[in-house]
Amino acid sequence: MTAARPLLVVGGGKMGGALMAGWISRGIPAADIFVVEPNPDNASALARDLGVTVAAAADDLPPDFLPELVMFAVKPQVMADVVPAYLPFAGPATVFLSIAAGTPIALFEDCLGEVAAIVRVMPNTPAAVGRGASVACANARVTDAQQKLCHDLLTAVGQVHWVEDEDLLHAVTGLSGSGPAYVFHLVECLARAGREAGLPEDLANSLARATVEGAGELLHRSATDTPDTLRRNVTSPGGTTAAGLTVLMGGDPNKDDPAHGPLGDLVTGCVAAAAKRSRELAE
């Protein structure tokens, strides 16, 4: 993977750091990556661990600096204050990539002008281990070459999908963006259930964690099997798994529409609430 000119990352937090590490592992030289990070501790860690060039502010970048891509990886709440400093890069030579949840393309167009090529993407935290899921949307100024560059950079940390309707990113935020937290909470719930069933705390915690880790890996390796098939494979009629699933599914675990039931309704409400919040952040 290569870039014709330097890449600039604004914000060196966990997601920005994970992406940069992925780029370097895919062949982008650390010398071609610049970061604007005002926090001295974060800046020192990035320079030490990744070997990238770090500046405290946009004004500290080299005077002739013209990046091929500018990635905004700061919190949505400060985005409107941060973006205007990068107006000098707006034009056909640079594409802007935002990974901020709930921040619409329109905000960047207002700050950078109608000439700016902008891609908005919703990644998720498994990007830190190269197993992320990202969904992106581009405005009309993004060229095919710029879209490919963004796609290649995002692929460095996981799978990438594109949509034309930006509004779909709210649902993406509710599902894959926030989804890892739902899975982590499931581990907490399994561990608690184990403790209440009489298991020692350490054993319950270990079993809950290993169960979700193993099930996820099995799902990952079973590319030709649907989750429904995998569930049925471990559910013997009248057995222990069927008894547990009856509680989660509100009845027969082999019914035709298993997503409707106590757990399915809870998850649907969970995703809907996160998507709703994403829309509120965009207003």
Q: 3-state class of 53 per DSSP? A: strand
CA 19 from chain center: how many Å? 10
- Kindly state the average pLDDT of the residues 236-261: 83
**pLDDT tens track for 119-157:** 999 999 898 888 999 999 999 999 999 999 999 999 988
pLDDT at residue 171 is higher than 70 = yes
Cα-based angle 22, 128, 126 (whole degrees, multiple of 5): 125
pTM: 0.88
- Kindly state the average pLDDT of the residues 53-72: 94
- Kindly state the average pLDDT of the residues 228-254: 88
pLDDT at residue 229 is higher than 70 = yes
CATH architecture of the domain with residue range 7-170: 3-Layer(aba) Sandwich (3.40)
CA distance 117 to 105: 10
The answer to whether 76 touches 102, Cβ cutoff 8 Å, is: yes
So what's the pLDDT on residue 88?
95
User: Average per-residue pLDDT in the chain?
Assistant: 92
- Kindly state the average pLDDT of the residues 244-260: 78
The answer to whether 102 touches 122, Cβ cutoff 8 Å, is: no
- Kindly state the average pLDDT of the residues 55-59: 94
CA distance 230 to 17: 35
Place of tokens 């993004």: 142
So what's the pLDDT on residue 258?
66
